[in-house]
Amino acid sequence: MIRVGIVGLGFMGKMHFRCYQALDGAQVVAICDTDRAKFEDTGGTAGNIEGAEAPLDFTGIGLYDDFDKMLGEANLDALSVTLPTYMHKDYAVKALSAGVNVLCEKPLAMTVADAEAITGAAQQSGKLLQTGHCIRFWPEYAKTKEIIDSGQYGKVLAATFQRLSLTPTWSWDNWLMDATKSGSAALDLHIHDSDFVQYVFGMPKAVFSRAAGGPAAKEFDHIVTQYIYDDDCVVTAEGGWSMTPGFGFEMSFNLVLEKATITYDCTRDPAFKVAPAEGDPFTPEIASGDGYSNEIAHFAKAVAGASVPEIITPAQSVDSLRLVLAEKQSVSSGQSVEL
Ligand SMILES: NC(=O)c1ccc[n+]([C@@H]2O[C@H](COP(=O)([O-])OP(=O)(O)OC[C@H]3O[C@@H](n4cnc5c(N)ncnc54)[C@H](O)[C@@H]3O)[C@@H](O)[C@H]2O)c1
């Protein structure tokens, strides 16, 4: 049984808590949040995950408002860093340096230098560092990568990804709406698709982005990017959080392969469809669970010493950050940016 701590009991802290508690091999033994009122709020995390709104039970768990005290007392094997992004570096480095394995939410950090400080601390301590790039573990996305990699439908000719959200006005201290703390929708939201593009197609040669301003940033709150590769595959992604409250949240993709079309739209039923050139359209079998529960199960297994497939490396997390920062640079300069 691995002993787990969580720092930051907001939207994602609660999500991580729910996922660990559902596992046989992990036990949350300590939680830290500087706002002790969070410990009284046992309502689950609302959102698009079925069952996530179930009440949470913190009975028997060490509840701290001092991170150093938690780290000193709780004898942790693993820590989830579910703090606002601009705080990731200090807490992740401290935990890794103290010999604790870390699952840090995405984006790994605000800057490449901070991200490399975290990956450097992991390397030095020899401890695991996984970044919360949950889309790599999202069943429909994971299955899509598997289908592409199998080559059964030929090459991908074109791919578009979309992630659109109402404006998130619910964060602690409204940090999401401060682009100096969240990096705006480009870094906070759209990075999910940039990271998936990197996972499936590798790092592009260059990016060209345009963006519209919105509630958190004059420039980057609704971004559209072309990822440019040596071959002629057309890859684009669009992400933004300037949608109206009535819109809610949508994530989707359309992939054109030589011998099939693969589509996903979380608001549609069926959400996931493969339409082969020959034969009837069908919905492939996918893994159970959701991206969060699957990434946390993966992390917990790895911490416990089980062999797990390599899905997200620290270097790839830094590359995803590099990718989005290049996209933002492209918006600012009006030019494509080479990577
Ligand atoms: N993987 C995903 O799909 C996904 C979704 C949402 C958020 N995130 C990421 O998760 C991270 C957290 O986002 P969130 O939406 O949960 O934020 P949030 O505002 O809901 O929660 C942040 C929590 O941190 C606490 N906190 C602030 N300062 C602290 C400190 N010094 N020590 C301890 N606790 C402190 C706050 O009281 C709050 O409870 C961000 O990096 C965000 O980008 C990822």
Instruction: Compute, in angstroms, the gap from residue 162 CA to the centroid of ligand 1.
Output: 23
Residues of the chain with pLDDT under 50: none
Pocket test for ligand 1, best of 38, 172, 294 (most atoms within 8 A of CB): 172
Residues of the chain with pLDDT > 70, as a percent, come to 99
- Which pLDDT value is given to residue 81? 98
**CATH class of residue range 135-287+311-338:** alpha beta
Ligand 1 atom with least separation from CA of 85: 41
- Which pLDDT value is given to residue 121? 98
pLDDT tens digits along 136-151: 999 999 999 999 999 9
User: 2-133 has which fold?
Assistant: Rossmann fold (3.40.50)
Equal CATH topology for 2-133 and 135-287+311-338: no
The Cα–Cα gap between 58 and 255 comes to 43
Instruction: Compute, in angstroms, the gap from residue 4 CA to the centroid of ligand 1.
Output: 17
Ligand 1 within 6 A of CB of 85: yes
pLDDT tens digits along 185-195: 999 999 999 99
Ligand 1 atom with least separation from CA of 9: 39
Ligand 1 atom with least separation from CA of 176: 19
The Cα–Cα gap between 291 and 178 comes to 27
Instruction: Compute, in angstroms, the gap from residue 262 CA to the centroid of ligand 1.
Output: 33
- Which pLDDT value is given to residue 217? 73
Instruction: Compute, in angstroms, the gap from residue 45 CA to the centroid of ligand 1.
Output: 12
Distance of CA 149 to the CA centre of its chain: 22
H or E stretch including 330?
helix 314-333
CA angle at 267 for the pair 13 and 325, rounded to the nearest 5°: 55
- Which pLDDT value is given to residue 112? 98
Ligand 1 atom with least separation from CA of 168: 15
Ligand 1 within 6 A of CB of 9: yes
**Pair type for strands 249-257 and 260-265:** antiparallel
Residues facing 3 on adjacent strands: 27
- Which pLDDT value is given to residue 316? 98
- Which pLDDT value is given to residue 45? 78
- Which pLDDT value is given to residue 46? 67
Question: Of all protein residues, whose CA lies closest to atom 22 belonging to ligand 1?
Answer: 10
Instruction: Compute, in angstroms, the gap from residue 313 CA to the centroid of ligand 1.
Output: 22
Instruction: Compute, in angstroms, the gap from residue 128 CA to the centroid of ligand 1.
Output: 21
Question: What are the structural domain ranges in the chain?
Answer: 2-133, 135-287+311-338
For 140, other C-beta atoms within 10 Å of its C-beta total: 22
Burial annotation 286-306 (CB, 10 A radius, 16+ → b, else e)? beebbbbbbbbbbbbbbbbee
Ligand 1 within 6 A of CB of 198: no
DSSP code of 263? E
